[in-house]
Every structure is written in C-alpha cells, then in structure tokens.
Amino acid sequence: METLAQQLTPTGLPHPLLVQVARRAVAEGAAAGDPGSIPGRAGELAEREQRRLLQPVVNATGVLLHTNLGRAPLAVARPAGYTNLELDLSTGRRGDRSSHSAALLALACGAEAALVVNNGASALYLALSALSALSAGSEAIVSRGELVEIGGGFRIPDVMAASGARLVEVGTTNRTRRGDYESAIGPETSILLKVHTSNYRMTGFVADVAVRDLAAMVGARDDIAVVVDIGSGLVDSECPWLAGGPPRWLRSEPAVRQTIAAGADLVTFSTDKLLGGPQGGVIAGRTDLVERCARHALARVVRAGGLVLEALQDVALSYLRRDAGRVLPLWRMATASVDELAHRAEAVSPGPRWAITECESVMGGGTLPDVTIPSAGLAAIGDVTGALRSCATPVVAHLVDGSTVCDMRTVFPEQDEQLARALKGVSGS
C-alpha cells in the first residue's frame, strides 16, 4: 500500500490522501480479481481526486452569476496578517464587526443600518426569527404568488416555519390585492413579507401589492414590520456607478435603495449576485430592527467571517466611490460591448473550426429570469465540452443545437490565452 502511494507522489496530493486512493484501488482490484489493474486504477483515482479540488476554471458558459462556479467573480489578494475586525482603534477596546462593511453597505443603500450574515437565506431567516415577536403573536403575511422555492429545494414556507414565524397566505397565485393584506392583519400580525420572484417571472393576468402600499397599511405602528426580500442585491436602480446609467436589461429589477425609500422597514439580499461580492447576506433598514436582529441568538450562528467582511468592505467602497462599474468584475463583464467581445473571439480562435458567433448571455444565479444580454463567442460543431473541462485550466462551455459554444462575455481578458490553448488542444477532437 505504501509503495503504491509513493508511486503517486508526483500528483502533488498529500500523502494521507494518496494512501486513501491506494486502498480504494487495491480493494477494487481485489474485488475484480485483477491485481494487475491496481496501479492504473490508482492513477485514475488520484486524477479524479485532483479534479475534485477547488481550482480556477474559465467560465465560457455566458452565465455571469453561475451558481456552480461560485456566482459573482471577485478578485481578493491580501498578505498574511491581522485586521481590526472587532477592535476600535480609537479606544483600544472591543469593537463591532458591523462598523466596517455593514455600515458602508448601509450608506450605499440609503439605509439607517445593516447587518452582514453568511448568505441571503440566513438574512431572511434571521430577520423573520428576530421580528416574529414584535407583537403578541408571530404571524407573517405573504402573498401566495411569492411563496417561492430557491435553489436546492429550499422554500419560503419552510424558512418561515423554521424561523418561528407563522405563515398567513393571502391572495392567489397570480393576483394579490391590497385588500387581501388589510383583511388578514390582526392582533397577532408582526410582519408583512414581500418576496421578489427573482428566479421566475409571471406575466398575463397578474397583480401584486407595491412596497409603498404595504408601508401605508402599517403606518406609524411599531408592532408590524414590512420586510422585503429582494434577493439579488442591486444597490440602486439608477446605477450611478455606470457611465451610461442602468442597462436596458436591468430596468425591471428591484433595488435596495428604492425599496427602502418606498417604506420597507427591512430589506434582505444576497451579496454574491448583483452586488458583485463574495457569498453573504445583508439585512438593511431601520436601526432598531437591525439591532434587534443583531442581538438575536441566531446572529452569532450565521455571522460572516473576517475575509468576507473585508472583501465586502472593498465592494461597498467601490459603490460609494461610484467606480464599481470599473472595479467589480461582474459589472465589467456585464457591460462589455459586443464588438469588443467579437474582437477578442477573433483573436482567440485557433482556426476555421471555431467560428465567431452571436450568442446571448444570461445573468443566472436566480436573477433576471428571461433576460438575455447580447454577446459574442466561438462555436464549433460537435460536443467537446468534456474535453474542454479536462484541460490544464478547465474550460466550462455549453452546447447549443449540437455545437459547443464559448461565450466571451464571461471569459476574463486575461484568460484569453488559456482559452486559446484549450481550443487549439481540442481542435482535433
């Protein structure tokens, strides 16, 4: 076993993992009655283990927020060292980890305060848990048309039940009116919840209630909170960080700043979608309600780590400087011109097999359903997606009508050379 593991050392995998691989290879060879197959099988298993490790890939799918590829791309580089994560440098006393990135995000979103947690689902879960006891009861009213299911099979009703909030459904699947909410509000109501249907779209004979109308129902009552989960985390619908203003494909997406201005008490959203940051979640809104969430026992369970907070601080600063369109990779990719992408595709193409093609990118990540962004890329007849994934730097492409397509919008310019080598390597496949 040890000899076999030593033979696999050139793979670069640590010895304990190579021993595990060797044991599996020996067991499989013994079961098959073919001891001679063991060295070859061990090499295959070692290669498979290498491929399972997290590693850089070239995203040529055209899906900007590809959930399987980590959603929003973000460049983070820092030397080893400490930060003042929970230290007030002015007093030398223990500080608050919400005084950095969370405070900056609140400012960027036009909120009084904010709290950062480890993902968007946690943000909603914590908000519902903390606010469900605002009144004598814990009823949370939500439209039937907004009882969504997100990736992985997680459903809003299940999240609400786990949080302790008691679900009260109003309206119908396709139409909910203001009167439906008004009739349902009672002495045990603590939350009016609105959930943005970010991963699907309903059209036709539909109606919903605007955030402004929900806020008007509550008025000055402090025992009922309007909570809005907008999911994707667009900071401001005006996109002041983009020279040309909001792209046409973005104009129907709700934004945090406008949702708060419309009267929402709390807004929850993810940070690794249209915000363009690392995985995390934010609760933004009224100071007293954010503080209530921060004091809840679950806040410690779902809090974000120092690296996430540090990365989010840089993201928030880019929005406050209004240079996010230039600094954040997501916005650079999303706003690149088709002519620029076609020019890069021409330079990358290794030969006539890979033809420049028009294509359509999508935002992905449960964001902007049915919205496409014109793009350009390279296409070759046949399926070579598996061969591209096997390259030294894996290239993830997609199939369209029997052809392999590499969409240049989601390929970073600095990856063009890697893509060119990969395409040349599979040209004879």
Which residue ranges make up each domain of the chain? 15-52, 58-73+331-426, 101-327
Dump pLDDT digits (tens) for 75-121: 887 888 999 999 999 999 999 888 899 999 999 999 999 999 999 99
| Residue 346: how many other CB atoms lie within 10 Å | 12
60 near 400, Cβ under 8 Å?
A: no
> Of 252, 256, 259, 413, which Cα lies nearest the Cα of 344?
413
Residue 133 has pLDDT above 80, yes or no: no
pLDDT of residue 92: 94
Distance, first Cα to last Cα, the chain: 37
Higher pLDDT, 157 or 260: 260
Tokens matching residue 369:
């359903």
**Position 312, amino acid:** L
Q: What is the mean pLDDT of the chain?
A: 92
How many alpha carbons fall within 13 Å on the CB side of residue 136?
A: 4
**The most confident of 121-135, 158-172, 277-291, by mean pLDDT:** 277-291
- The set of residues, in sequence order, having a beta carbon less than 8 Å from that of 218 and lying 6+ positions away, is 192, 224, 225, 226, 265
Dump pLDDT digits (tens) for 332-390: 999 999 999 999 999 999 999 999 999 999 999 888 988 999 999 999 999 999 999 99
278 near 76, Cβ under 8 Å?
A: yes
Q: Where are the alpha helices (DSSP H) in 335-408?
A: 338-348, 385-389
pLDDT of residue 429: 47
pLDDT of residue 152: 67
2 pLDDT band, cuts 50/70/90, is confident
Over residues 1-22, the mean pLDDT reads 89
pLDDT of residue 221: 84
Neighbour-count burial for 92-122, b at 16+ CB within 10 Å, e otherwise: eeebebbebbbbbbbebbbbebbbbbbbbbb
Higher pLDDT, 217 or 36: 217
Judged on CB neighbours under 10 Å (0-12, 13-18, 19+), 145 is buried
pLDDT of residue 135: 57
Q: For residue 376, what are the β-bridge partners?
A: 358
How many secondary structure helices (H) and strands (E) does the chain include? 17, 13
> Of 330, 368, 334, which Cα lies nearest the Cα of 199?
368
SS3 string, 183-245, reads: HHCCCCEEEEEEECCCCCCCCCCCECCCHHHHHHHHCCCCCCEEEEEEECCCCCCCCCCCCCC
Q: The domain 58-73+331-426 is classified under which CATH number: 3.50.50.60, 3.90.1150.180, 3.40.50.300, 2.40.420.20?
A: 3.90.1150.180
> Of 280, 308, 304, which Cα lies nearest the Cα of 294?
304
Dump pLDDT digits (tens) for 177-205: 999 999 999 989 999 999 998 777 888 89
pLDDT of residue 137: 65
**Position 396, amino acid:** V
Q: Which CATH architecture has domain 101-327?
A: 3-Layer(aba) Sandwich (3.40)
Which residue in the block uniquely carries the two structure tokens 């809003």? 156
Dump pLDDT digits (tens) for 381-428: 999 999 999 999 999 999 999 999 999 999 999 999 999 999 999 986
DSSP state of 312: H
134 pLDDT band, cuts 50/70/90, is low
